[in-house]
Structure 1
Amino acid sequence: MTLDRRALVARTLAIGAWAAARPALGQTPPPAGPRGTPPGLPQPVETIDLWPGGAPGLPQDRPGGRLVETVNERSTDSLVNDRAVLGVTRPRLAVFRPDRPNGAAVMITPGGGYRWVVVDKEGYEIGRWLAARGFTAFVLFYRLPGDGWASGADTPLADAQRAMRLIRHRARDYAIDPERVAAMGFSAGGHVCADLAARFAVPVYTPRDAADALSARPHSAAPIYPVVSMDPAIAHPGSRQQLLGDHPTPAAQAAHSPDRCVPADAPPYFLCHAEDDDVVPVENTVRLRAALKARGIPLEMHLFANGGHGFGLRRAIGKPVAAWPDLWRAWAATVGLA
């Protein structure tokens, strides 16, 4: 017992010293928000900036003035955070390390309709769940396409590609197998996930360093209640407008609809959606499944009668849709992730 207590104290001191040293390492802290966090919930203290020297392509004459990152707290419950990040200027990964790594990693892309990036519901809560089960989790705070970046609609994809390559480049630091790095995304973050799984080999930024020589193809992809199609008949209007503007061309709609860009070497997919989703129609996932099947890509799909949109973990409690994380984990074992 004494040894365990000493080990715990030593580990706590080491983490504290490491966290204090982070500014010296030049990494941007994770989004915090205007108030504290509930006691007892692990918060990330480790981040990885994606772009040394800053992200590429923010115009100096951006309409609306200088872009400033802002974190809004949307919850009125002091024991529950529901933060959203607007105006991401330094895209980064927030890291959740497991106590006992299983050698696999998951990059998480939260939703937010491409207006903001959700922190807790589709980010940190998923990261904690994964880390508790041995996965090293990386929550990606990606740049938003409507903020004036030169890469426009490809901006979130550029960050996702770069993040996947950096995770692989630093695999040894995290005791993970670089071949077992999966992607998981939610809502508009599901579009980032599906876009990465479809266009991982499409050049959308100028290489910066040795990490960019690595593949951005995820081991597997799990877009959950995802925005997929830019077809106005089923698209999420807000995400479509933020990504492509008010009057996108048919070519732009096709290029940014992952169901229309599935390559022959796409990774295996886990698909999940609720039939009663009144924000992102379930047809988005159904179309993606059809496109994957047409290409012969391995997949598993689960559709739930009830669940609505944005159920994540917290809003799934007490409903059949609450089974989705364990279904994903069982499927992940069948494709060799863990």
Structure 2
Amino acid sequence: MTIDRRSLLVAGLAAGITGSGARGQTPPPLSPRPLARGLPQPAETIDLWPAGAKALARRPGAAALPANETVDDRSADNLIADRAVWQISRPRMVVFRPDRPNGAAVLITPGGGYRLVVVDKEGYEMARWLAARGFTAFVLFYRLPGEGWALGPDTALADAQRAIRLIRQRAGDYGVQAERVATMGFSAGGHVCADLAARFEAAAYAPIDAADRLSARPWCAAPAYPVVSMDPAIAHPGSRALLLGPNPPPELEAAHSPDRVVPSDAPPHFLLHAEDDPTVPIENTLRLRAALRARKVPVETHLFAAGGHGFGLRSTVGKPVSAWPELWRAWAATVGLV
């Protein structure tokens, strides 16, 4: 589905009515069909970049993106949404506020193989779970590096760094303690999460305002079944190609493999993977764990025999892997997030 101008205007009006923080901001990705009733849908968004920010520059010779981003609902069940969005030219966060904030925020980076960004399964569903437990959740719709952005492999990292800084700048508006901002990512979004946790001090973009004087280091990080290594032996081929392009030199592979650049002051990590993952080899998580341990960074690791890839919350029912969200919450308390 391509979002037309009329739909954007209607959604923007609705967002302005239902959430004052959404005024003047790009609305959430719109739904190609009515969604199941009873599920809270976000109305509040935060655009990451002001118009004209150099971080939004296109690569010379890159094809222009369509004016409207594209949303595809891949679900055959009217009661279950499974949307994916791409051609994102206005990167933004969608906000899920809890009724009783516990003072902590979580930035969620959904997966999609760097080809698209999953909306529901690894975004909104996790955000609702977190908000129901007091966390203020921010789902990040980051730009895709293969779509011609001048920042290249640092495109999604720049969006993630900027997102953390904006959350900290506006922490008082959300009942959040500015330092207590965690990150959680899935699959290729797990790479965004791990990359942020490893390269939070990297100058991924030129500073533009006061927010950029704030730290981009997360309080803690939880990459789930993550793409980590760009080593062709274990890399997810699609993510690697879209992030680095064809035939990248070894130094580029190393620079964008978080296990090879993680610093000794990286935040504590919670790692999660299924042994039977057919898409992203479990060696990605094992290499990141080994690198964190070598640098004496606190890390908790949960490996499950069954779960496959992309299980999120919805595909865990009846399996031991269903315990993972509560395991994360208990661990988050041990590192002082809550």
TM value normalised by structure 1: 0.93
Percent identity between the two aligned chains: 70
Please tell me whether residue 158 in structure 1 is matched to residue 123 in structure 2. Answer: no
Partner of 1:93: 93
Once the two structures are superposed, the pairs formed by residues 164-183 of structure 1 within 5 Å of their partners are 164-183=164-183
The residue type paired with residue 305 of structure 2 is A
Partner of 2:73: 73
User: Do the aligned partners of 1:104 and 1:136 also contact (CA within 8 Å) in 2?
Assistant: yes
Give the Å deviation of 1:26. 1.5
Partner of 1:11: none
| Deviation string, structure 1 residues 70-99 (Cα, Å, up to 9, x no partner) | 000000111110000011100000000000
Task: Determine which of 29, 32, 47 is the counterpart of 1:31.
Answer: 29
| Deviation string, structure 1 residues 112-141 (Cα, Å, up to 9, x no partner) | 000000000000000000000000000000
State the Cα RMSD in Å.
Answer: 1.5
The residue type paired with residue 331 of structure 1 is W
Once the two structures are superposed, the pairs formed by residues 98-113 of structure 1 within 5 Å of their partners are 98-113=98-113
Partner of 2:43: 45
Give the Å deviation of 1:62. 2.2
The residue type paired with residue 155 of structure 1 is T
Give, in whole Å, the separation in 2 of the partners of 1:184 and 1:20: 25
User: Do the aligned partners of 2:15 and 2:44 also contact (CA within 8 Å) in 1?
Assistant: no
User: Do the aligned partners of 1:217 and 1:267 also contact (CA within 8 Å) in 2?
Assistant: yes
Partner of 1:10: none
The residue type paired with residue 39 of structure 1 is R
Give, in whole Å, the separation in 2 of the partners of 1:131 and 1:20: 16
Structure 1 runs of 4+ off > 6 angstroms? none
User: Do the aligned partners of 2:153 and 2:243 also contact (CA within 8 Å) in 1?
Assistant: yes
Give the Å deviation of 1:65. 5.7
Partner of 2:329: 329
Partner of 1:252: 252
User: Do the aligned partners of 2:65 and 2:89 also contact (CA within 8 Å) in 1?
Assistant: no
Give, in whole Å, the separation in 1 of the partners of 2:124 and 2:85: 13
Give the Å deviation of 1:19. 2.6
Give, in whole Å, the separation in 1 of the partners of 2:122 and 2:225: 11
Partner of 2:234: 234
Pick closer, same or farther for the CA change 1:303–1:65 going to 2, 3 Å: closer
Secondary structure of the residue aligned to 1:238 is helix
Partner of 2:62: 62
Pick closer, same or farther for the CA change 1:21–1:100 going to 2, 3 Å: closer
The residue type paired with residue 200 of structure 1 is F
Gaps of 5+ in 1: 1-14
Please tell me whether residue 149 in structure 1 is matched to residue 125 in structure 2. Answer: no
Identify which range, 252-261 or 33-42, moves more after superposition: 33-42
Give, in whole Å, the separation in 2 of the partners of 1:16 and 1:157: 27
The residue type paired with residue 41 of structure 1 is L
Partner of 1:12: none
